[in-house]
Amino acid sequence: MNKYTSLTFFLLFAFTIAFGTNFEANKNITISNDQPSDQYLAGSKIHVNAKVDGDVIATGESVVINDSVFGDLLIGAGSITVNSYIGDDIRVFGGDVEINGIVEGDLIVFAGKVTISEDAVIDGNVISYAGEITLNGFVNGNFFATGGELDINGEIGGNAELKAGAIELNAKIFNDLKISGKEITLGSKAVCEGSVRYWSEDGEMDFSNVSSSATYDEDLAMVDEKFDWGIMAALLGFGIITYWIIFILSAFMVILLLEHFLGTYFSQAADMLSSKFILSFGYGMLYFIGVPVLIVLLFVMIIGIPIGLLLASLYVMTLLFTVSVVGLTVAHFFKNKYGKSWTYFETVAYALLTVVVFKVIFWIPILGWLVKRVVGAAVFGAIILLMTKKKPQLD
């Protein structure tokens, strides 16, 4: 595949990612019309009241999902309520999480309080860490819960593993049960069709009405019974966790594409950066300052508006992928400088690590701003210099 074919394919793909997806940040966000693509949302109060044919990734004070989402949910918020059908997995971090709909995939929750209502059906597995966990619905897969207090009702189609300070068990479990708690209370509806392994601070218990095979197991003894999962969840900061998940996954996807289609090109750009750093920096500054001026001039000229729109779109796309481009170029810089024979995935891994390091540095006041401008300009300047010189030979 030649350079121009590769570059064209990547730009089209990147343009689709950047502009076929809805990025929205506002104090209050309401999705009222059906959406054909992924939704990236950041705000105080977020309501999804229309169908989304893709993923919803959101962070805010409160998030409410009232209509079908046919992809994944990845949410970090103080309050999270899911009242509708979810076509794939749910991964949420929150203070108070309530699930009231049908979930086709897995449910992974890290929260202060989790409620899975009697209307909820989880077709996959459930993994939950919380201060309080209440299950009243149906889980088709396995159910793993660790918390301060567990109130387990409803039905669990797979295996169940419960660990908490206080556990009230009143559910029907179709496979095996492993349960350990400081206090365990068995309800009249508690049934386990498989085997039971248990530990209680009070010692052996009567499980005869629950299962025909119950074994007291000291190996299940709780060594961290005073650990407060709710406090831990609050301290970690759900919004920050979600942001980093989104950021790393997005950067990883972009780096994979860049390295696959233009890896040799970025290697040559790294050599250009090494040999002509000052000149590269100058070209980069000219690009980042001159292109916006050119766009404004094109918009002033009516005949230049179409070109201005295209140039503005490409420029915005450049800004979206700046950190990934910088990370990949710098990774190739060190690879070439020290003669490393990294494989494709090793190069991607080092580039992703470089991106994370740069992202942290960019947050440092003054120094971060300076490093971002200098390194970003130098990298893009090297790429521009390479494009204006002799055509590189690509794989």
User: Do 84 and 204 lie in a common domain?
Assistant: yes
Rounded to 5 degrees, what angle do the CA atoms 126, 121, 81 make? 80
Q: Is residue 38 part of a domain?
A: yes
Write out the H or E segment, with its range, that includes residue 178: strand 177-186
The pLDDT, as a whole number, for residue 161 is 94
User: Do 230 and 262 lie in a common domain?
Assistant: no
Q: Which residue, of 187, 211, 236, is where some domain finishes? A: 236
Helices (H), the chain: 3-19, 229-236, 238-275, 277-300, 305-320, 322-337, 344-362, 367-388
DSSP-derived secondary structure letter, 393: P
User: Do 171 and 293 lie in a common domain?
Assistant: no
User: Do 158 and 302 lie in a common domain?
Assistant: no
Q: Is residue 71 part of a domain?
A: yes
User: Do 204 and 259 lie in a common domain?
Assistant: no
Record the pTM. 0.57
User: Do 313 and 177 lie in a common domain?
Assistant: no
Q: Which residue, of 192, 209, 236, is where some domain finishes? A: 236
Q: Is residue 206 part of a domain?
A: yes
Q: Is residue 393 part of a domain?
A: no
298/196 Cα distance (integer angstroms) = 73
User: Do 143 and 192 lie in a common domain?
Assistant: yes
User: Do 54 and 152 lie in a common domain?
Assistant: yes
User: Do 209 and 341 lie in a common domain?
Assistant: no
348/332 Cα distance (integer angstroms) = 10
Q: Is residue 5 part of a domain?
A: no
Q: Which residue, of 236, 260, 284, is where some domain finishes? A: 236
Q: Is residue 6 part of a domain?
A: no
Q: Helix 305-320 crosses helix 322-337 at what angle (to 10 degrees)?
A: 60
pLDDT, tens only, 128-172? 988 899 999 999 999 999 888 999 999 999 999 999 989 999 999
User: Do 151 and 292 lie in a common domain?
Assistant: no
The pLDDT, as a whole number, for residue 17 is 46
User: Do 260 and 164 lie in a common domain?
Assistant: no
Q: Is residue 334 part of a domain?
A: yes
Q: Is residue 4 part of a domain?
A: no
Residue 304 contacts by C-beta under 8 Å, 6 or more apart in sequence?
A: 297, 298
User: Could you tell me the residue range of the domain that residue 316 belongs to?
Assistant: 252-388
CA contacts within 13 A on the Cβ side of 172: 8
- Domain count for the chain, please give it: 2
| Low pLDDT (below 70) residues in the chain | 1-27, 223-246, 299-300, 302-306, 308-309, 313, 390-395
Task: Give the residue carrying structure tokens 């669990």.
Answer: 156
User: Do 165 and 257 lie in a common domain?
Assistant: no
Nearest one of 336, 344, 383 to 263, comparing CA atoms: 344
